[in-house]
Amino acid sequence: MALLDAYTKPLTSEQVMYLLRRATFGPTPDQGKAFAGQTAAQVVAKLLADQPVPTPPLDLATSKTFHDLPFDSTNAGKLNLYVKYWWSNVMLNQPVSLLEKMTLFWSNHFVTNDATVNDYRFMYRYNALLRQHALGSFKIFTIAMTQDPAMLRFLNGNQNVVGTANENYARELQELFTTGRDGGYTETDIREAAKVLTGWADTGYRDTTNAAIGSTFRANRHDTTDKKFSAAYKNATIKGRTGADAGLAELTDLVDILLANPETPRYICRELYRWFVNYDIPETIETNFIQPLANLFRQSNFELKPVMSALLQSQHFFDETVRGAVIKSPMDLVIGTFRFWGLQAPDPAQSTTNLTAYYQIGNYLYSRAKEQQQDLLNPPTVFGWTAYYLNDYYQQWINSTTLGLRGFFADALTTNALKLNGKLTVDVLAYAKTLSDPTDPTKLVNEAVTQLLGIPLDQSQKDFLIDTVLLSSIPRYEWIIEWNDYIKAPNDSAKRQAVQMKLTAFIQYIFRMAEYQVS
């Protein structure tokens, strides 16, 4: 059976939770139940549905947008953080949609960072561009990204002029953005591509008097000679042009020859595979999954939706052997945990109080992910975050510093040490009541671990969770008595604490398990 063939059986609740962990920033228990019994094709269709553009970030001081105003040098640091808090909350409040996970994926692919760009309006525009094209045409996306003002700043495209060509973006366009290192391109190809890209510049950078930002093509700074490429690009020649339209015409020709390189669709499909399925790509996966997916990518004229649809409903995606293969990124861990417990950011447009609470939550999400080494809009290098390019791949998310911080984050939720917007974050009693039979400790633990953990546990592990972690070695029948006593008298503090403390210890232990760190 071909690995890319569709998985057609109705999905179990466990499979739904797995799919949503990979395709979104985490499911809620209700979503696991609601989509159980549907096919992968039905759920993936929902994931790929078009989504409205989120409301832009607001300035806490004015309750108005700021990305469309002149640059505010006095408050630039604060406004830059508002963009990050805003994006954190967009991910938190996402519907059942692939869009936000793809937006983060592309921010690690077409990398820029705010430390270099240093204009929060440029970074918001860049994020909006990622979101706009995340599931569209990769060709159009690449052309648009080449002209993006943040990218022009980050990789020195604004300094690339005839006579003194800057090759920085031309190199990364091939090595990281399209063909990859196996594309066979030469130093000559880099020089010729740089000539194609001469003349582009950003506009409005840190302008304190003008709200308009963007990019422009300066025809008088463009290299109008013909550009000749190597055999990697079938010895193609891009004809030199003059005039106002020369830049876009030559850029389009350049992207066309990059996409014609047979390695480009394979490279992009490998990147998607590593992000959504598994970092390990042995020869059998390369031959039987990556290559067919790359063929589909090319046949679909480099549209991304058909590729993601095929990937997420494939037989291979639902293979038990890839379950748990992905270590959760900090954003997956933090936002996914919040989403599971039903924690959402309030509508910031409704009131100043809501906006304050909105940024309090966004600040918390962003700060926890940053300290775990995933700083939104600020990957450390042009290669992206370390865990997505070094040999150990996702394992880079776990080290002596971040493992403790992951545990600290979980403890703050379960011990009720954390209050956001004046509310407790995790209510273990309310959660237990959502389970099918909370009076039965065996059913309670079985159902909870199915919902919370990325891979199944064996019976000995479940027994340990029941008898040692949840019940603290009391007989199982005593839990039934304690739970029923609590239900009969929920306001009795002693009876409530008898079950609450046990449930808290259980959830706290779950959060620290290796199986919770993976999806």
DSSP code string of 155-214: TTGGG-BTTB---HHHHHIIIIISS-GGG---HHHHHHHHHHTTTEEEESTT-SS----E
Mean pLDDT computed over every residue of the chain: 96
Q: Which of 225, 125, 122 is nearest to 133 (CA)?
A: 125
Residue with tokens 């259980």: 506
The mean per-residue pLDDT over the stretch 384-392 comes to 91
* Alpha-carbon dihedral 251, 257, 259, 264, rounded to 10 degrees: -120
Last residue of a domain, one of 230, 261, 292: 261
Is 88:374 a contact under the CB 8 Å cutoff?
A: no
Is 202 part of a structural domain of the chain? yes
Within a domain: residue 179?
Answer: yes
Specify if 456 maps to a domain. Answer: yes
Grade residue 422 by pLDDT with cuts at 50, 70 and 90.
low
How far apart, in whole angstroms, are the C-alpha atoms of residue 337 and residue 331? 10
pLDDT, tens digit, 9 for 90 and up, residues 60-104: 999 999 999 999 999 999 999 999 999 999 999 999 999 999 999
User: Do 466 and 476 form a contact (C-beta atoms < 8 A)?
Assistant: yes
Inter-residue contact 153 to 117 (CB < 8 Å): yes
| Across 23-33, average pLDDT | 94
- Looking at residue 421, what is its pLDDT? 67
pLDDT of 4: 97
Give the bridge partners for 14, in sequence order: none
Mean pLDDT of the 212-239 span: 98
Q: By three-state DSSP, how is residue 118 classified?
A: coil
Tokens read off for 77: 């640091």
Residue 253 domain-assigned?
yes
CA dist., res. 301 & res. 458, Å (int): 45
Read off the DSSP letter of residue 381: B
Place of tokens 């070695």: 473
Which residue has tokens 């025809």?
219
> Coil, helix or strand for 334?
helix
Q: For position 425, what pLDDT does the model report?
A: 73
Separation of alpha carbons 7 and 214, rounded Å: 44
Inside any domain, residue 74:
no
The predicted structure's pLDDT at residue 3? 96
Q: Let me know if residue 11 belongs to a domain.
A: no
Query: Does residue 72 lie in a domain region?
Result: no
Left, alpha or beta for 200 (phi > 0: left; psi -120 to 50: alpha)?
Answer: beta
Tell me the percentage of the chain whose pLDDT exceeds 70. Answer: 98
**What count of other Cβ atoms lies within 10 Å of the Cβ of residue 54?**
17
Last residue of a domain, one of 207, 230, 261: 261
What is the number of domains present in the chain?
2
298-354 pLDDT per residue, tens: 999 999 999 999 999 999 999 999 999 999 999 999 999 999 999 999 999 998 989
Q: Which domain holds residue 173?
A: 139-261
Confirm whether 183 is domain-assigned.
yes
Among 241, 261, 281, give the residue marking a domain's end.
261
Rounded Cα distance, 126 and 124, in Å: 5
Q: Exposed/middle/buried for 157, CB within 10 Å: 0-12, 13-18, 19+? A: buried
The size of the chain, in residues, is 519
pLDDT at 390: 85
pLDDT at residue 1 greater than cutoff 60 = no
In this predicted model, what pLDDT tens digit does every residue of 129-168 receive, in sequence order? Answer: 999 999 999 999 999 999 999 999 999 999 999 999 999 9
Long-range contacts of 496-504 (CB under 8 A, 24+ apart): 496/429, 499/429, 499/432, 500/428, 500/429, 502/470, 502/471, 502/472, 503/428, 503/429, 503/431, 503/432, 503/470, 504/414, 504/415, 504/428
463, pLDDT greater than 70:
yes
